[in-house]
Amino acid sequence: MTVPDRVFASNDRFSVRAASSQLPAAPARGVAVLACMDARIDVLRVLGLRAGDAHVVRNAGGRASDDAIRSLILSSLLFQTREFVVMHHTRCGMQTSGEKLHLRLRTAYPDTVGDEIDFLPFADLDQSVRDDVRRIERSSYIDADSLVTGCVYDVDSGRLRQVSG
Amino acid sequence: MTVPDRVFASNDRFSVRAASSQLPAAPARGVAVLACMDARIDVLRVLGLRAGDAHVVRNAGGRASDDAIRSLILSSLLFQTREFVVMHHTRCGMQTSGEKLHLRLRTAYPDTVGDEIDFLPFADLDQSVRDDVRRIERSSYIDADSLVTGCVYDVDSGRLRQVSG
């Protein structure tokens, strides 16, 4: 049974419960979270949030990439989000170097170049959070009175540690 | 109490439970999901997955942007992910036009231009899923034998409908 097969079977059961709880599109807590795609992180549970509470943007590293900024601008523009939380985490695969990642890519795909991809790795975990908080704060299309908080999630203890904001 | 204050207080309680369940970094189901940031969607619950099962990439629309592709390549390269699920949804704020979004941006920020941002809206929901499935399949750094499934989540009924794959 492939993952999609299992997923559709599981959703048949989920939809019976979900149908009774229609939520509005606007995040009830007025917050958007930017977090890593890491499998260990159930973002809503970690942050004590429920479906309906927050926009959740995720990518490798939880980086404030141009595309993440696009999403946060839309959250702010269409749904008046004024609070943002950047959450990176311990033992992240992105805490490495671009050189190492490009070497792995060239090893896996010897006939390709791949140097055009910036994987957005980082050397220092706390600094990466501060950098991404600053990128969001400096966007021309995020209101200056927005609150941007940065934190690190410890995947071993389950604890959040505030880094910035 | 700001959202961050509430989040940290809530995490204090969460971390006591989480500390006992250390998960490996590799997704247990070998799958990565690309979904919209929409507040109504609890991706893991909708798909019948648990923390540890899947990488979860999210942005406005669940689009296969360059940054989403970056994340999926890293999922594949570092964790051997070979199954991918693209999930868009009904009543998505991105089912609109770039003109309408740029008009809202210029109204909110009259002193700016903003035309440099491609918001990645779409006109047709099913077609947007098919387009994004194809973008992932065509990436030079996603293995050709990968399984990419596209689906639409109905935010009212809670049901998934397979569109592609």
Q: What is the DSSP string of B71-132?
A: HHHHHHHHH---EEEEEEETT-TTSS-HHHHHHHHHHH-TT---TT------S-HHHHHHHH
Residue B123 burial (C-beta neighbours within 10 Å; 0-12, 13-18, 19+): exposed
Confidence at residue B165, expressed as pLDDT on a 0 to 100 scale:
78
| Closest residue, chain B, to A80 (C-alpha) | B108
Structure tokens that stand for A80 in this block: 């008046």
Residue A50 distance to chain B (closest CA, Å): 8
Give the C-alpha separation, A15 to A10, whole Å: 9
Q: What is the pLDDT of residues B67-107, one digit of tens each?
A: 999 999 999 999 999 999 999 999 999 999 999 999 999 99
Which of B40, B101, B119, B122 to probe the A interface (max A CBs under 10 A)?
B40
Instruction: Give the residue from B97, B100, B33, B91 showing the smallest Cα distance to B62.
Output: B33
Confidence at residue B13, expressed as pLDDT on a 0 to 100 scale:
77
3-class SS of residue A130 = helix
Partner residue opposite B158 with nearest CB, options A2, A14, A37: A14
Q: What is the pLDDT of residues A127-140, one digit of tens each?
A: 999 999 999 999 99
Give the C-alpha separation, A145 to A148, whole Å: 9
Q: What is the pLDDT of residues A94-112, one digit of tens each?
A: 999 999 999 999 999 998 8
Q: Are A76 and B104 in contact, with CB atoms under 8 Å apart?
A: no
A36 and B CB contact within 8 Å = no
Confidence bin at B6 (pLDDT 50/70/90): confident
Is 90 exceeded by the pLDDT of residue B61? yes
Q: How many residues does chain A have?
A: 165
The widest CA-to-CA distance across chain B, in whole angstroms, is 52
ipTM of this predicted complex? 0.95
Instruction: Give the residue from B112, B17, B133 showing the smallest Cα distance to B68.
Output: B133
DSSP class of A157: T
Strand partners, A56: A33
Across residues B116-145, what is the average pLDDT?
96
Confidence at residue A114, expressed as pLDDT on a 0 to 100 scale:
73
Instruction: Give the residue from B44, B30, B119 showing the smallest Cα distance to A73.
Output: B119
Helix (H) or strand (E) holding A107: helix A98-108
Residue B102 distance to chain A (closest CA, Å): 10
B115 and A CB contact within 8 Å = no
- Torsion, Cα B146 A63 B48 B154, to 10 degrees, reads -90
Distance of CA A93 to the CA centre of its chain: 14
Q: Chain A neighbours among B 144-163 (CB < 8 Å)?
A: 147, 149, 151, 154-160, 162
- Torsion, Cα B90 A57 A134 A67, to 10 degrees, reads -70
Fold of B24-163: Beta-carbonic Anhydrase; Chain A (3.40.1050)
Backbone phi and psi for residue A58, each to the nearest 5 degrees, phi listed first? -140, 140
Give the C-alpha separation, A64 to A120, whole Å: 9
Q: Chain A neighbours among B 42-71 (CB < 8 Å)?
A: 42-60, 65-68, 70-71
Kindly list the domain boundaries of chain A, sorted by start residue: 24-163
Confidence at residue B3, expressed as pLDDT on a 0 to 100 scale:
73
Overall pTM > 0.90 = yes
**List of chain A residues with pLDDT < 50:** 20
Q: Which chain B residues touch A91 with a CB distance below 8 Å?
A: 25
Binary contact (B104, A77; C-beta < 8 A): yes
Give the C-alpha separation, B150 to B130, whole Å: 7
